[in-house]
Amino acid sequence: MRMRIVQNAVMVLAVTLLPLSAHAASILPTSYDMLNGNTGSYDYWDQIYNGVGCVTCDNAPLTGGVGDLTDGIIAANNWFIDEVPAGNGPYVGWTLNPLITFNFASGATINSMTIHVDDSNGAGGVSTPAGIRINGGAFLPIVDPATSTPLSFTFNGLNVTGSLGLELFRSNAWLFMSEVTFDGDPGQTAVPEPGTLTLLGTALSGLIARRRRKTRQA
């Protein structure tokens, strides 16, 4: 499987509409399962997670819900700005290599995934991840740029259905992530062929004409 990694940008996918297929769109997972974040200077937990599990406990198993990682809030600043003082900002932070399983509605196909992570160049032990692994596949390395601002990395060509396992590998003591987004085929809205639309229009016109004749006869 060939995969492209795009840094700091989300690639726009050009999709040709085929008969009885849906177009590419942003797709939200129905839930994600993982171990909660950790406590450091503040509490870097997934405190808005709405599934089962302790949201105020280090590395507690969280299942069946969604939270900070899919709430649409992408951190604009480093962790020491956006998480201070309450520790309940957009980031979730781990001192382990987290494995996150994202679950999707039946029929949805995930073509690309973008992770939004912090890179404070080692401040507080926080750095860009060394790489990721998707569904237990090959290790995909991530190059740490010279900048020290939050980054996004896009992984294309996934073609994943059902669930997606994202394993992140730390390059320092901490790994901070604020959001994960997905694009693909939701598999819900069918696009009929042009010929089908023509047949439907012809049938509807014939039905209207017959009803008018019956009305005049009555």
The pLDDT tens digits of the residues spanning 52-86 come to 999 999 999 999 999 999 999 999 999 999 987 77
With beta carbons less than 8 A apart as the criterion, state whether 82 and 75 touch: yes
Q: Report the alpha-carbon distance of residue 82 to residue 110 in Å, rounded.
A: 30
> What is the 3-state composition of the chain as percent helix, strand, coil, each rounded to the nearest 5?
15, 35, 50
pLDDT value at residue 9: 35
Higher-confidence residue of 2 and 27: namely: 27
159 against 214, higher pLDDT: 159
214: exposed, middle or buried (Cβ count in 10 Å: 0-12, 13-18, 19+): exposed
Q: Which domains does the chain have, with CATH numbers?
A: 5-192 (2.60.120.1190)
For residue 53, the model assigns a pLDDT of: 98
Whether the ω angle into residue 145 lies within 30 degrees of 0, i.e. cis, is no
pLDDT above 50 for 201: no
pLDDT of residue 103: 98
Radius of gyration, CA atoms only, the chain: 23
Return the higher-pLDDT residue of 194 and 69: 69
pLDDT in tens, 22-49: 467 999 999 999 999 999 989 999 999 9
| pTM greater than the 0.95 cutoff | no
Q: Bigger pLDDT: 201 or 83? A: 83
Lowest mean pLDDT among 144-148, 149-153, 160-164: 144-148
Question: In terms of pLDDT, which residue wins out, 126 or 196?
Answer: 126
* Predicted pLDDT at 203: 44
Spatial separation of the C-alpha atoms in residues 204 and 85, rounded to whole Å: 64
pLDDT for residue 194 is more than 80: no
Question: How much is the average pLDDT of 173-186?
Answer: 98
Distance between CA 217 and CA 179 in Å, rounded?
Answer: 66
Residues with Cβ < 8 Å from 138, sequence gap 6 or more? Answer: none
